[in-house]
Amino acid sequence: MIFNKTEEQEKQYLQQILEIINDTINNTDKSVKEHVDTLQEHKDYLWSNKDIDPHEIRSMRESILNHFALGENVIDKRKRLSKILDIPYFGRIDFCEKKEGKLTTPIYIGIHTFYDPLSRTNLIYDWRAPVSSMFYDHELGEASYISPSGEVYGDMSLKRQYRIRKGRMEFMIESSLTVHDDILQKELSANADDKMKNIVTTIQREQNRIIRNEDASILIIQGVAGSGKTSIALHRIAYLLYALKGNISSKDILIISPNKIFADYISNVLPELGEETVPETSMEQILSSILYNKYKYQNFFEQVSELLERPTPDFIERIQYKSSPDFVLQLDKFILHIENTYLHATDVKLNRYITIPAEFIKEQFRRFNRYPMRQRFETMTEYIMEMMAIQYNFSVTTAEKTLLKKEIKKMFAGNNDLQVYKDFFEWAGKPKMFKTRKNHTLEYTDLAPLAYLHLALEGYPPHSPVKHLLIDEMQDYPPIQYKIIQKLYSCRKTILGDTCQSVNPYGSSTAEMIRKVFATGEIMKLCKSYRSTFEITAFTQNIRPNTDLEPVVRHGEHPRILRFQNSEKEIDGITELISLFRKSKYKSLGIICKTETQAREIADKLLKHTDNIYFLSSQSSAFVKGIIITSSHMAKGLEFDEVIVPQANNKNYCSEIDKSMLYVAVTRAMHKLTVTYWGKPCDFIYISPTLKSSDLNPL
Ligand SMILES: Nc1ncnc2c1ncn2[C@@H]1O[C@H](COP(=O)(O)OP(=O)(O)OP(=O)(O)O)[C@@H](O)[C@H]1O
């Protein structure tokens, strides 16, 4: 006998569940009110009784704090329950454990657990619960899941998916498959939001393996464009917060994200999954704060812009040199060289009678080699003084002690980070590899090695409280930056990215390179691409073929390549495309240019013809829905219903880095893509014979 066999029965059951949830909400409201009343009573009592004895005050204080904490708990529960009212559950499996006397049990799966205290049953299971994993991993028939007490085997006899919105069941699908294709197609065909959304109802099996991987201490996800890397990494965080409850909370997690826009864009996923937003930072912030924010430096965005707008072979060479794994080895050798040669010891005359010999000082520098070099002076001084006192039976004054410490510090030639860093290039025989810009501004590639040397000399900060580190866009960070991360954060890590989307082709890292830096790590691949229609994906594959990529078959319009007579006509054409977009069903349009300068120029021109266009610069911090004009670099990680890529001529897009930018731009499109140009089309775009001739004729 199947529980709730028909759709009608399921609908009635949904109503019952909603009633129970509503009752529970009413009870929590009562409970909140009781807590508020008690707190008020305590407050009144304290106000109206001036001579209360200290014991009573203390006990009352404890009671207030207690009520407060309980009250907050109840409020959290209330928030969760109100969310459940909208979509109580999205899936169901019927499972019978292979054990005598066990019955088939329907398991309803939602974003949160719902336990009914009256019937003492779990009416809804959290999607992260062990039993729920079968929903994502198994088809009908034999199934198993890993419970805290071991693997549980059984038979899965039914699998349903529901679409419930605002407490109303729109439809249900019964399926033997893992996640039914129709539901996935519906989700993928929906319009883009101003924030990344959760995908809990349609997580795919290969994605679930990554989310629930608790074994890997360093998990490296290499995934093709639109494969759900970022979404999956965030779901993984939500999963770990659930599975390791008590050991880890959201404030113990740190996300290293490429920029503020991206951080804003992904900020909704965890709250949607019922978790707090987690702290976020950027690689630049980490590196600069190691150096006490003392140096002016070209930021990563400026480095990319320079590579796109005015690349010089020297600049490229400097970036390449400092981004190789070999460079880290060289720095390590140099640190050893500092250790062996930077202390130029001399005799120190403490007073008329006592002189500390140079050789003795040198010996102490070596003796304390477990301390970072700049941290040894104090300990060496203490030790030397102690030895003096024992051997010659005399005591030194504080002034003499201070003098000795000062003298030892002076003997060390590595007290200035920048000088040491410059020395490195002399030592390596590559003085041309270091160049500062106007006003002593450092190049971006120098920030990490400088910080690395600083840490080697000064010592690493105490153990970081971060328990899980998430690094997105992993390909953009060179090995030296990972080396620093490894030393700063010893915790578990999830690192994700796609080498094909590097905006830093002269300094990018592959999954394999990253694993080498950490000397460990599990690489998991995501090959299915979900974001774009089949036609758009085929187009992007012509720009940068990736044999790993497997598109999800969802059809849409063919991308269009529009040729114009000149740049003015191109602007007119884009204005026309914008007005067509405004009349369409789509909600977001990204006009993605190669550089920020180009984006700004086009934005200025377009704004003469049309309004409500937002220019997103590297300084922006919030992502907005609507018509956005931006650079490829800023668009990384984002997505739009429709994308227009202007100026795709062979002058604008001609180098390897230009190709990366073009690839990033076109892979942002979900449903519609138009590429415009005047002059000759760039060689990276394949003009397919299926294109209508009107698409190519000059307009
Ligand atoms: N299992 C899934 N169910 C529904 N949608 C999915 C699924 N997996 C991925 N998507 C959708 O695919 C799109 C791409 O996801 P996401 O941005 O996480 O991918 P990514 O690999 O980080 O992309 P990129 O590297 O190109 O920026 C999003 O719209 C996401 O909602």
Atom of ligand 1 nearest to the CA of 638: 27
Atom of ligand 1 nearest to the CA of 497: 25
Could you give the angle at which helices 376-392 and 398-411 cross, rounded to 10 degrees? 130
Helix (H) or strand (E) holding 470: strand 468-471
pLDDT per position as a tens digit, 634-643: 999 999 999 9
Q: How many angstroms is it from 284 CA to the middle of ligand 1?
A: 26
Q: Give the residue, 516 or 688, on which the prediction is more confident.
A: 516
Q: How many angstroms is it from 226 CA to the middle of ligand 1?
A: 5
Measured by CA distance, the residue closest to atom 16 of ligand 1 is 228
Q: How many angstroms is it from 549 CA to the middle of ligand 1?
A: 14
From the list 230, 233, 424, the residue with the least C-alpha distance to 332 is 424
Residue where the block lists tokens 């409500």 = 612
Long-range contacts (CB closer than 8 Å, 24 or more residues apart) made by 129-135: 129/242, 131/95, 131/107, 132/107, 133/208, 133/212, 134/93, 134/95, 135/91, 135/93, 135/109, 135/159
Model pTM score:
0.90
Q: Is 258 in the pocket of ligand 1 (CB under 6 A)?
A: no
Q: How many angstroms is it from 389 CA to the middle of ligand 1?
A: 69
Q: Is 226 in the pocket of ligand 1 (CB under 6 A)?
A: yes
Q: Tell me, what amino acid is at 354?
A: I
Q: How many angstroms is it from 193 CA to the middle of ligand 1?
A: 12
Q: What is the CA radius of gyration of the chain?
A: 31
Q: What is 354-371 written as a DSSP string?
A: -EE-HHHHHHHHHHTTTS
pLDDT of the residue at 693: 46
For residue 2, name the pLDDT band (cuts at 50, 70, 90): confident
Atom of ligand 1 nearest to the CA of 496: 22
Measured by CA distance, the residue closest to atom 19 of ligand 1 is 228
- As a whole number, mean pLDDT of residues 462-467 equals 91
8 A C-beta contact, residue 588 and residue 669: no
Polymer length of the chain? 699
Atom of ligand 1 nearest to the CA of 187: 4
Residue 609 predicted with pLDDT over 90: no
8 A C-beta contact, residue 563 and residue 650: no
pLDDT of the residue at 28: 73
Q: Give the residue, 679 or 63, on which the prediction is more confident.
A: 679
pLDDT of the residue at 29: 66
Partners of residue 551 on adjacent β-strands: 529
Q: Probe ligand 1: pick from 193, 227, 588, max atoms within 8 Å of CB? A: 227
pLDDT per position as a tens digit, 66-109: 766 666 667 777 777 888 888 999 999 999 999 888 999 999 99
Measured by CA distance, the residue closest to atom 13 of ligand 1 is 531
The SS3 of residue 214 is coil
pLDDT per position as a tens digit, 394-412: 777 888 889 999 999 999 9
Distance, CA of 519 to CA of 497 (rounded, Å): 19
Q: Give the residue, 386 or 343, on which the prediction is more confident.
A: 343
8 A C-beta contact, residue 184 and residue 552: yes
519 Cβ contact partners less than 8 Å away, ≥ 6 residues apart = none
pLDDT per position as a tens digit, 355-378: 899 999 999 999 999 999 999 999
29 Cβ contact partners less than 8 Å away, ≥ 6 residues apart = 78
Q: How many angstroms is it from 229 CA to the middle of ligand 1?
A: 7
8 A C-beta contact, residue 642 and residue 625: no
CA atoms within 13 A on the CB side of 58: 3
Between the two ends of the chain, the Cα-to-Cα distance in Å is 66
Measured by CA distance, the residue closest to atom 29 of ligand 1 is 531
What is the signed CA dihedral for 377, 382, 388, 393, rounded to 10 degrees? Answer: 160
Complex ipTM more than 0.95, yes or no: yes
533 Cβ contact partners less than 8 Å away, ≥ 6 residues apart = 554, 555, 556, 557, 670, 671
